[in-house]
Amino acid sequence: MSKNGQSKTKRAPEQKSVRKATLRRVLSLLRPYRALILLSAVLALIATALSLSLPILIGRAIDLAAAPGAVDFPGIFRLIGISAAAILLCALCNFLVGVCNNRAVYHIAADLRAQLFGKLQRLPLSYLDAHPQGDIVSRTVNDTAEFADGLLLGFTQIFTGVLTILATFVFMLLLDWKIALTVLLLTPLSLLVARFIGRHTYEMFRERSRITGEQTAYIDETLSGEKVVLAFGGEEDAVRRFDDVNDRLGKCSLRAVFFSSLVNPTTRFVNSTVYAAVAFVGSLTAILTVGGASAFSVGTLVTMLAYTNQYTKPFNEISGVLTELENALACAARVFALLDESEEIPDEKDALDLGEAGGRVELSDVSFSYLPEQRLIEDLSLRVSPGEKIAIVGPTGCGKTTLINLLMRFYDVKGGAVLVDGQDIRRVTRESLRRNYGMVLQETWLKTATVRENLAFGRPDATDGEIVAAAKAAHAHAFIMQLPDGYDTVLGGADSDLSQGQRQLLCIARVMLARPTMLILDEATSSIDTRTERQISRAFSEMMQGRTSFIVAHRLSTILDADLILVMRDGRVVEQGRHEELLAKGGFYAKLYHSQFSA
């Protein structure tokens, strides 16, 4: 057997196992809504019974109209009235079935989205760094919606269809067992065809969902960097890459839809064959039993044909729904895969609340790397006294931001320990640790909310006076007052009309309002003009008084007054000291400094 054939053979049992596991988990999602589903089943049973009574009533009306002698008009009108009442009641029951199914399914979808969003809050930063945001969004939004649509179709049509098939067959058996047997022998063909196609389309729909996530991720990536794409003339390359993904998605979708669409015409052909067989057998029976004691009347033949339609129609509907369910299961598998990802290591059961930290920070023989084969930080030791201002400088990729990630415990150290006030930060709760830090990053983040709500993000109980004071200290008050509604202006997150510098000033004001014990400033003034930077630096200096501060900086002019400058290179602190001391040494720091200020 070829290597490709072996891989397919090996993959088939795995896919079958994943499919079964996914189906079990889908069924477990239904448990909280058992009452709604049970009510839907009862209403569907009533609607089915009412719909099955119509062919009998119509058949009797035909017999009354075709009876020798006078036509029984009163009897016909009575049957028409009963039929009309049955139709109205059946419609009401079907409406209520739809209401119950919609409530159940969309509550399940809402629960699933809530689980996914909660999961995202518990995932380690390493997962979010390693996976495209667009793919995660696609699983949370698109795949959940596809799953809900497929589940709704399954609820609405499969249960009612199965009830209709069983009840119709019983009625047909009571009317004429020979015709019922004819139907029973032919209809399994529909099930066999649907099952065969359904098994083969599951993996196709799963692949389509995966490529959809890849496409969403690429669109998100391109739109977020559209200015860069335009600046470097990368439009053609972007379109070419998109066309490649889009072409693969189109081919995969076409293949999945083509195979799934085979179900409908195939089952319709089988159903038409069954109908023709019933018409033939029923006509012969009616002819052969004319005048007999057990005559097979025209009305009975019409009833049997109507039942044949009712019996075969659900097979066609169910066959179509099965392909949608395969798509739903494929989407559910991607959703469950995200839900099953390893979460951030939880706080220890006896983890301490750090309270209000004094600001003493120590790194003891810290080692860390994102990938085992790529060494980054090794045997890093550092002691920071409360209130000290520590600057971290060095070339790109030397480990500056990684060091910040370790201080905040976004990542755990691989070796050694990070201590705050003598406590290993792995022994304290993350919430209490991060509560003591105020952080301003180079990449600004503002949520879709008012300016006031954005500034009070870290201190929701802050008064209006405190908010305005923080904005003034960050030199943001002036431009805030020029906004349409001042502090009540709603910002649109990343789509805000604010400049990058203004957005950064708001982030600075936000941390100034929080007044944390310790500060982390990662290129906090990189998007601000020199004049405003000097003003902000003075405000920062006031805020840093008595607070331990870590400043990551590329512009060395901003950290000349630091109590200690750590010079990093290849994950190690190669020099440390004050500005004047490091310049006097003429080492790596001096080279960095003079490279920025040389003519």
**DSSP string for residues in 259-294:** HHHTHHHHHHHHHHHHHHHHHHHHHHHHHHTTTSTT
What are the backbone dihedrals phi and psi of residue 387, each rounded to the nearest 5 degrees, phi first?
85, -5
Question: CA-to-CA distance for 404 and 474, rounded, in angstroms?
Answer: 23
Among residues 48, 50, 39, which one has the least CA distance to residue 163?
48
* Helix/strand number for the chain, H first, E second: 22, 10
Token pair, residue 105, equals 């399914």
Same domain for 562 and 425, yes or no, is: yes
Structure tokens at 302: 């019409």
Burial class (CB in 10 A: 0-12, 13-18, 19+), 207: middle
> Which of 339, 373, 407 represents a domain boundary (last residue)?
339
Same domain, 209 and 157: yes
Q: What is the pLDDT of residue 6?
A: 47
Give a yes or no: residue 1 inside a domain: no
Helix, strand, coil shares, percent, the chain, to 5: 65, 10, 20
Residues 56 and 143 in one domain: yes
* Residue appearing with tokens 């009163």: 74
Number of domains in the chain: 2
Whether residue 391 sits in one domain with residue 247: no
- Cα separation, 424 vs 97, in Å, equals 58
SS (H, E, C) 150-182: HHHHHHHHHHHHHHHHHHHHHHHHHHCHHHHHH
Do 433 and 335 sit in the same domain of this protein? no
Secondary structure class of 549 (helix, strand, coil): strand
In a domain, 447, yes or no: yes
Domain boundary among 280, 308, 339: 339
Residues 307, 386: one domain? Answer: no
CA distance to 4, 25, 381, 518, per residue, from 11 (Å): 10, 21, 49, 53
Residue type, 13: P
Q: Are 378 and 367 in contact (CB under 8 A)?
A: yes
pLDDT tens, N- to C-terminus, the chain (599 residues):
444 544 444 455 556 677 778 888 888 888 888 888 889 888 888 888 888 788 777 777 777 776 666 667 787 788 888 888 888 998 998 899 888 888 888 888 888 888 988 888 888 888 887 788 878 888 888 888 888 888 877 777 777 778 888 888 887 787 777 777 877 777 767 667 766 766 667 677 778 878 887 888 788 778 767 766 766 677 788 888 888 888 888 888 888 778 777 766 777 777 777 777 777 777 777 676 655 544 566 677 777 777 777 777 777 677 667 767 777 888 888 889 889 888 888 888 888 888 888 889 998 988 888 877 777 788 888 888 888 888 888 887 777 888 888 888 888 888 899 999 989 999 999 888 888 888 887 777 888 888 999 899 888 889 999 999 989 888 889 889 998 889 999 887 544 578 777 888 888 888 888 888 888 888 766 666 777 677 667 767 777 777 888 888 777 777 888 888 888 887 777 888 888 888 888 888 888 888 776 54
**Is 356 within a domain?**
no
Co-location of 387 and 505 in the same domain: yes
Are residues 321 and 440 part of one domain?
Answer: no
Q: Hey, how many other C-beta atoms are within 10 angstroms of the C-beta on 497?
A: 9
Predicted confidence at residue 467, as pLDDT, reads 92
7 located within any domain: no
Are residue 40 and residue 161 in the same domain, yes or no? yes
Which is nearest to 505 in space by CA: 561, 566, 454? 454
Residue 371: φ, ψ to 5°: -125, 140
In a domain, 221, yes or no: yes
At 345, is the secondary structure helix, strand, or coil? coil
In a domain, 3, yes or no: no
Based on the fold, state whether residues 400 and 269 are members of the same structural domain: no
Are 275 and 308 in contact by the 8 Å Cβ rule? The answer is yes
Question: What token pair was written down for 56?
Answer: 């009998």
Domain boundary pick from 339, 369, 398: 339
One domain for residues 371 and 329: no
- pLDDT attached to residue 269: 77
Q: Kindly state whether residues 496 and 367 are assigned to the same domain.
A: yes
Rg of the chain over Cα atoms, rounded to whole angstroms, equals: 36
**Domain coverage including residue 145:** 29-339
Please tell me what DSSP assigns to residue 516: -
Say if 423 falls within a structural domain. Answer: yes
Which residues, 6 or more positions from 463, have their beta carbon under 8 angstroms from its beta carbon? none
Beta strand ranges found along 427-561 (DSSP E): 437-440, 518-522, 548-552
- Assess contact for 452 and 488: CB atoms under 8 A: yes
Q: What CATH number did the domain enclosing 41 receive?
A: 1.20.1560.10
Contacts (Cβ under 8 Å, ≥6 apart) of 193: 262, 263, 266, 267, 270, 319
pLDDT of 449 reads 85
Residue 599 has a pLDDT of 43
355 occurs within a structural domain: no
CA dist list (Å): 443 to 132, 272, 392, 412, 526 = 17, 64, 18, 22, 10
CATH number at residue 494: 3.40.50.300
